[in-house]
Amino acid sequence: MRYINIKSLLKIAGLILIIVSIAFLFCIPAALIYSEPVKPFVYSILICLIPGLLIYFFIPSSINEKVSVKEGYLSVTLGWLILTLAGALPYLLSKSIPGFINAFFESMSGFTTTGATILRDVESMPKSILLWRSMTHWIGGVGVILLVILILPTLKVGGYNLFSLESSMKQKILPKTRSIASTILLIYLGLTLLEVILLSLGGMNLFDSLCHTFGTVATGGFSTKNTSITRYSPYIQYVIGVFMFLAAVSYIVFYFIVKGQFRKVMNYEELWFYIFFITGAVVVTTLILYIGTERNFALSFRHGFFQAVSHVTGTGFATTDYMLWPSIGWFFMFILMPVGGCTGSTAGGIKMARHLIVLRNLKTVFRRFQHQNAVIPIKLNDRIIPDNINKTMLAFVPLYILITIAGMIVMQLSGISVMEAAGASTSAISNVGPGLGASGNFGHYNDFNEIAKVTMIFLMLIGRLEIFTIIALFTRSFWKN
């Protein structure tokens, strides 16, 4: 393995600092409108922009080679860490979130689109800080990665390596060209604009519409209200519910639709499996509420639809406190946490494609009991999955479960109750947000100790970057030349 190109890594780090400093600018108008201090954002801009410019423009531009796989893994991981550290600056400088661990937790939760929070009283926060908090969702969802993909090809730094490693867009069908990346970004912007308009038409003010839209299209879940979406009208709840569903659909599907390639959409098996699973989850949740509570059918369906979609997609918004449901209800929500949306979406979790492939492997095992010598390939979208990729996907699921259990044990040993540790670990690695008990969908993680918070931070990063990206950094072979 050739040496690591430090200049390439620094160049990417500088670019990320420049991008995040530009993002800070959008919060200054909100601070001025609501008569809040602008210094936290001005100082944050200077802290990020100056070193970013120095690194980006004064590092010798001798990056003529594509980054290796090793550099791609390092770039993605270090990039997210730098982004998260920079994103914590407004919280610390405004003193709205005291303590580095708390600020870093909130920032990591935002950029990884987890939506877990340490804030006890969201509504007491400055509006400009709440806007930044929601913007971290939007940026983390797809914005930064696409901007990097648009810019890096001009440096010949092999944006495709970064693109294929980032969990939001892990599909080789998306080409390396800037024009295709621009199309994906336009789709993301289009969904954002459409939801803002629809929420505004439903009576939600512009500020709340922006913040909730950022959390929806990125499947994040940060709300500007302590009770999330509960106080809003059924219309708004259904709008957000529909957009949560759309946000977990693969951007490849949206790309096919924009290009008029509807036959490919019809043959996209993961999409139909996703629709089938969501439908089943909504039906089960509705029945649990209708039979086990005093809700009428219409209210049971609305709450069931919203909470099932919210958990499967990993968004984490809430219209009702599921910890007050019958025990089977909150347990079902717990089961839905790691499910995930489609591959190539902003959703976290295991992802629908992996579930589908595991099921097809199980089917193959049973068929081989009857035909022991049969050669039965595993297919997805009418394409045979290579054996090495199939084995990797099969290894992913048990590894995912083992890391979740390990996180739960660490948190439990640190003093967190078994229920909350299980909920927090599963929620963090699945990038869902709400857990169980006091940290349910109407709760927070402020009362967690620092060991538990750091464990969740690590799990959120693993969940966002997909397990193998992080684990590779801890192997001896990775660091050997």
Residue 240 lies in a domain: no
Would you say residue 453 has pLDDT above 70? yes
β-pair partners for 384: 379
Residue 227, sorted as left (phi over 0), alpha (psi -120 to 50) or beta, turns out to be alpha
Q: How far apart are CA 227 and CA 141, in angstroms?
A: 23
CA-wise closest residue to 162 among 148, 175, 174, 151 = 148
- Average pLDDT of 375-387? 79
36 in a structural domain: yes
Confidence of residue 255 (pLDDT cuts 50, 70, 90): confident
Q: Does 266 map to a domain?
A: no
Question: Per the structure, how many domains does the chain have?
Answer: 1
Instruction: For residue 330, give the nearest of 173, 437, 427 by alpha carbon.
Output: 437
pLDDT per residue as tens digits for the range 53-66: 999 888 775 544 55
Nearest partner of 280 among 308, 316, 319, judged by Cα: 308
Question: What pLDDT, in 10s, does the model give residues 182-235?
Answer: 788 889 999 999 999 999 999 999 999 999 999 999 999 999 999 999 999 999
How confident is the model at residue 2, as a pLDDT? 53
Does residue 22 belong to any structural domain of this protein? yes
Only one residue has tokens 């909470």, namely 307
pLDDT band at 338 (very low <50, low <70, confident <90, very high): very high
Q: What pLDDT, on the 0 to 100 scale, is given for residue 470? A: 80
pLDDT tens for each residue of 403-433: 999 999 999 999 999 999 999 999 999 999 9
Q: What is the pTM of this model?
A: 0.90
100: domain range?
6-189
Of 191, 466, 166, 172, nearest to 340 by C-alpha is 466
Q: d(Cα 447, Cα 424) in Å, to the nearest integer?
A: 12
Is 27 within a domain?
Answer: yes
475 inside domain: no
CA 181 to chain centre: 19
The answer to the question of residue 307 being in a domain is no
Query: Would 414 be classed as within a structural domain?
Result: no
pLDDT of residue 393: 81
